[in-house]
Amino acid sequence: QVQLVESGGGLVQAGGSLRLSCSASERAFSSSTMGWFRRAPGKEPEFVATFTWTSNTYYAESVKGRFAISRDNAKNTVYLQMSNLKPEDTAVYSCAADPTRSFQPASYYFREGSYDYWGQGTQVTVSS
């Protein structure tokens, strides 16, 4: 059973920074596409960023220039560095893995259904 475990969430003031981590339990996922999604209270889940198996990165417009996704394959870990946080970034952030290694357009990775494995999520709260 593959497990993804997120960490690094917390409470931060607007303008502050946090770094989320997502560790995968299996080494095979070091070559998977890894994505971050978030869900705010009362809202639909939202794509945040992805790091594809071909080393492409894509971001939601709302976080471009503020968030950065990276990965350390030796540690089976993907990171989401979040800077200049805003109250509207408050949400539960979850990482996800797509191990299929198929060539897809960017829009494919913006969809929740493209990912097979999910973590439990970590809460990020940004106070104004």
Cα–Cα distances in angstroms (integers) from residue 84 to residues 52, 70, 100, 125, in the given order: 25, 18, 33, 13
What is the residue-level pLDDT of the chain in tens, covering all 128 positions? 678 999 999 999 999 999 999 999 876 677 799 999 999 999 999 999 999 999 999 999 999 999 999 999 889 999 999 999 999 999 999 999 998 889 999 999 999 999 999 999 999 999 99
Radius of gyration for the chain, computed over Cα atoms and rounded to the nearest angstrom: 14
Q: Are 97 and 33 in contact (CB under 8 A)?
A: yes
